[in-house]
Amino acid sequence: MSLPRPRDVHAIVFDYGNTLIEFGQRQIDHCGAALRSAFQDRFGDFDIDRFDALRAQGRLAPYRNGYRENDLRTVTRDLANELFGSRLLDAQIDDLVAIRRAAFVGCIEAEPSTHRVLELLGSRYRLGLLSNYPCGRSIRASLEATGLERHFAAVVVSGDVGFVKPHPLTFETILERLRVPAEHTAFVGDNWLADVQGSKRAGMTCVHMRRWTPPEPFEPQPGDFEPDYVVRRLAELLELFDPDPPPGS
């Protein structure tokens, strides 16, 4: 199978975590440690194992309730209620959410080569970002901190849409904002369910990024779509979507 010729692909949409940047167990642990410390400072000791279990359940909850995304304020409040048995004031929730946002932004790094690949691809294609995360503000702050925001014509976050990938609304939203139809759009992502199945169901060309292991354990199921391509380095996209083809090609 060959990639559609460049004239047939007008836009490329990227997932964020474990596609453009690493977001695995190390980053999850970093964010968990910041929240755990904040809880201990404000409310005292608690069951750390239960804290970790509830956070893990929360990350997978959207995939078990019709792909409805979590709300960061709500899950923070509910987590505190489960651990301490008391409701938080709005100001306390705001404080904890700010800590979570800062921890997320602080653990994200973008490699210089990522900027170079996006610059080259952006010279020929409209680029978009479609990310699953319950807080759009956190993703945008991270994109600003890493400098990645300048590469994208549109950014869509599940926390703003209300649903996570693979829900079709997420893909419809990014396509609408890019003003490019699905058949002329490629999607690059790591998550088998959210990214591969979601983009293929939406009618997009799918490139499965396999550099990092996603924290969500979704395995292929009978009848699943296969990705059109598999890559293990972002730079491989330059071979697939040559942004500067030789004259006459």
pLDDT in tens, the chain (249 residues): 454 554 589 999 999 999 999 999 999 999 999 999 999 999 999 999 999 999 999 999 999 999 999 999 999 999 999 999 878 899 999 999 999 999 999 999 999 999 999 999 999 999 999 999 999 999 999 999 999 999 999 999 999 999 999 999 999 999 999 999 999 999 999 999 999 999 999 999 999 999 998 888 799 999 999 999 999 999 999 999 975 554 444
Domain end point (choices 47, 80, 106)? 106
Specify whether 15 is located in the same domain as 29. no
Residue 13 φ/ψ, nearest 5 degrees: -110, 135
**Residue 222 phi, psi (nearest 5):** -55, 135
* Structural domain contains residue 236: yes
Residues 36 and 132 in one domain: no
- Based on the domain organization, do 14 and 33 belong to the same domain? no
pLDDT at res. 244: 57
What is the per-residue pLDDT for 243?
58
Domain extent, residue 220, equals: 6-22+109-240
Closest CA to 154 of 136, 168, 134: 136
Sheet containing 126-131, strands listed edge to edge, beginning at the edge strand earlier in sequence: 154-157, 126-131, 11-14, 185-189, 205-209, 229-231
Q: pTM to 2 decimals?
A: 0.93
Domain count for the chain, please give it. 2
Helix (H), strand (E) at residue 126: strand 126-131
User: 157 lies in a domain?
Assistant: yes
Residue 247 maps to a domain:
no
* Residues 120 and 139 both lie in one domain: yes
Is residue 173 included in any domain, yes or no? yes
Instruction: Please tell me the predicted confidence (pLDDT) of residue 214.
Output: 85
Task: Please indicate, yes or no, whether residues 209 and 139 belong to a single structural domain of this protein.
Answer: yes
Answer with the one of 106, 125, 148 that is the final residue of a domain: 106
Q: 78 with 97: CB under 8 angstroms?
A: no
User: Which of 54, 82, 106 marks a domain boundary?
Assistant: 106
